[in-house]
Amino acid sequence: MYIKTESGAGAGIISNNALLKGPRFVTGEIGHIPLIPNGEPCRCGQRGCLEPYVYFGDVQGRYERATGNRITRSEFIELVQNGEKTSVDIAHETASALALACAHWGVLLDLDIITIGGFWGDFRKDIVEYCQSYYNTILEQSGIPSKTTILGSGFDDDADLLGAAGLVIDHWFTPFSVPFDR
């Protein structure tokens, strides 16, 4: 499963070497399923969805409300690396939300690999390793054996483009694999 972060939240799930899709084409719409009771408000009207924790525009807004300062993506990274409290707290909230998402969907779908893409996948120690540790703890406490690996993507900002190109290539070589006519 590939979890898209930064410009929203979504997932691509590969099963039997094919992209999993349902009849309404909402498979992987993980951004608007509440995970955290009474969590951050979401644009969809609910609270505690994954999206307000990973969408960088929402992260900027939370930081600005807490400090009065508007920051860029690179400034946020630098602040986290320097241990600035507000940015670190926000990164920890995001790590917790992503860890819950990985645990819920990883166990539900019995996944081998979960890849966190985008901005948050670049935070190997603060986000990815935390998600792996949380996942391992949940499964160990549940008595469920697992060898699921959680990774950060190396595709940076190109992941969406590469995914779209992959769909086109897949459609070209196997015309009935993705119904583009819906």
pTM across the whole model: 0.83
What are the tens digits of pLDDT across the range 1-13?
Answer: 989 888 889 888 8
Q: pLDDT grade, residue 165 (50/70/90)?
A: low
Predicted pLDDT of residue 169: 56
Beta bridge partners of 55: 6
DSSP string over 53-91: HHBHHHHHHHHHHHHS----HHHHHHHHHTT-HHHHHHH
pLDDT digits 0-9 by tens, 88-123: 999 999 999 999 999 999 999 999 999 999 889 888
Domain positions in the chain are 2-173
The verdict on domain 2-173 having CATH code 3.30.470.20 is: no
Say if residue 136's pLDDT is above 90. Answer: yes
